[in-house]
Structure 1
């Protein structure tokens, strides 16, 4: 990655035109060919940029100032950066990025709930994770204390789409005599947060809702430290 801190002016021409007057900014040229112009505000979003693939040509303008011309081979878009003063310039090889590892995603919730199914409902026990169906796997297939089959759909954030998904699974599972010997297959919609509309829809369809405390499942929640 090439990083340049400079007083610069930026002009973009393409589907629209945009102009950034002369000011101190950070210019980033990444190994993938992208070029980004950042200010000291605006969080992570650049003021202007060119997505890869693109070509950067360096030269000088009519006044003898350094000028970068960034063009895209796919479009007629052009980003022209005029550098009045370079305050810092460096090149760093960042190597291969291993990618973002998210904590608390649905897979982790599924693993933890598979180990502790009784946190969803008293007497619940695991039959199988990723229970196969013709329309996709059910996150957890369980049995309650009476031996009734219970399908569990797990989301990080519970919304209406998740309830619809579990509804389709239940319609299919309830056609299987092996699963309905002790009664119709029941459903539990589990999430760290369940939207009010999703809860209303689930309740209307006879689906139980369970809000999951991720830290408690991991053993990080200490009840003795609570005031209430």
Structure 2
């Protein structure tokens, strides 16, 4: 990972155009090739970014980031305050809490509750950006990636979207569909998932444990 703090302007040239005037900003270049520009607010959200795969060309006083669609992110450096690189290695991914881990275990053992003929491929299916909770096949034989949360919010949908983008590059798996499963799914997360063609499932924890009705409510 490379961290750059600089007084800079930023111009995006693509389907639309956007300009960030001169100010101090943090620029993050990750090992996957992504570049994001941050201010000292907005929590984790960048002011602008370029998703991988993309290429970086450095010239005196500027960075030009180009993606496969031909869009450009041009960072013009007025003053560099900090520039450092750090090797982070492979991240083990988020460790789920007890309920999420148990939901994953229960669902993997009872794939039939997602649909008749559904079969498990593997729990914790490894990818370059972390393990997919459950990889399975539906009754038609299509590959499905299932992301499990105790509380389903937009971040979980974004996480599953990244997994799907990566899994669909594998010709042995593609096309891969997505299912977002949680005990509770926020309305905004449901809207985003639906817009991206991701199915939503509300999990009944007690039902999966055999305490109550074991049917899932499908949307």
Using the size of structure 2 for normalisation, the TM-score is 0.52
Q: How does 1:6-85 map to 2 (within 5 A)?
A: 6-60=6-60, 66-72=61-67, 74-85=68-79
Residues 187 and 59 (structure 1 numbering): CA distance in 2 closer, same or farther, change over 3 Å?
same
C-alpha deviation, 1:107, in angstroms: 3.5
1:9-53 deviation line (CA, Å, top 9, x unaligned): 000010100000000000111111111101101111111111111
The SS at the match of 1:32 is: coil
Runs of 4+ in 1 over 3 A off after TM superposition: 104-107, 131-137, 158-164
Aligned residue among 85, 96, 109 for 1:130: 109
1:104-136 deviation line (CA, Å, top 9, x unaligned): 44442576xx8xxxxxxxxxxxxxx93574444
Structure of larger gyration radius: 1
How many Å separate the matches in 1 of 2:47 and 2:7? 14
How many Å separate the matches in 2 of 1:163 and 1:94? 35
Residues paired across the two proteins, number: 136
CA RMSD of aligned residues (A): 3.6
C-alpha deviation, 1:79, in angstroms: 0.6
Task: Point out where structure 1 has 5 or more consecutive residues left out of the alignment.
Answer: 61-65, 115-128, 138-153, 170-184, 192-197, 199-228
How many Å separate the matches in 1 of 2:36 and 2:44? 11
C-alpha deviation, 1:102, in angstroms: 1.6
Task: Point out where structure 2 has 5 or more consecutive residues left out of the alignment.
Answer: 120-149, 151-180, 186-199
CA contact (8 A) 2:182 2:203 kept: no
Residues 83 and 106 (structure 1 numbering): CA distance in 2 closer, same or farther, change over 3 Å?
same
